[in-house]
Amino acid sequence: MTTLTPPGPQPGHPYRAEMEAERRGWYEILDLVRSLTPEECLEPGYQRDPDWTVRDVVGHVGTWLAEAQAQFDRITAGTYEGHEVNVDALNAEFLAAMHGQAWDTCWVQANAGRTMMLSAWYLLPDRTDEAAWWIRKAASDHYGEHLGRLREWVAELIGRRPPE
């Protein structure tokens, strides 16, 4: 039987350390989310004003991963036009795009966004300031912005479960 190994960065890739940090952060998010029921993923309270659920956090992270993939593709193709990014406007746009989506849709979108982002990231031949910014904003640093509260919220949701 042949085992297929997903493509990954080549040894000596210019972003290998950042890719490892991204992987660790992503798998921590996965572990936390997978510890919840689908119903718990829809419970408001991750943040207030506006109310966010785990679905909203997953959708938010996934849309940033998809945007990073698009930017990496532009960098690779030589069509990247520079770094005029209004983070608040993109956050609002991404939140609106994912508003009301089913849990399964957000989950699949985030996983697909990450897969596509990684594929584009692996193709970056050199380190650039622009690519490094997108890596931080969409991946490991971005995960870090959400992991602390996500850990707390997941623990609270699990703590609400009735005793078995």
Residue linked to tokens 């419970």: 43
What is the architecture, at CATH level 2, of domain 16-148? Up-down Bundle (1.20)
Cβ-proximal residues to 95 (8 Å cutoff; 6+ apart), any chain: 56, 59, 60
Q: State pTM to two decimals.
A: 0.89
Residue range 39-49, pLDDT digits in tens: 999 999 999 98
Residue range 111-158, pLDDT digits in tens: 999 999 999 998 888 888 999 999 999 999 999 999 999 999 999 999
Considering only CA atoms, which of 55, 32, 52, 62 is closest in space to residue 139?
62
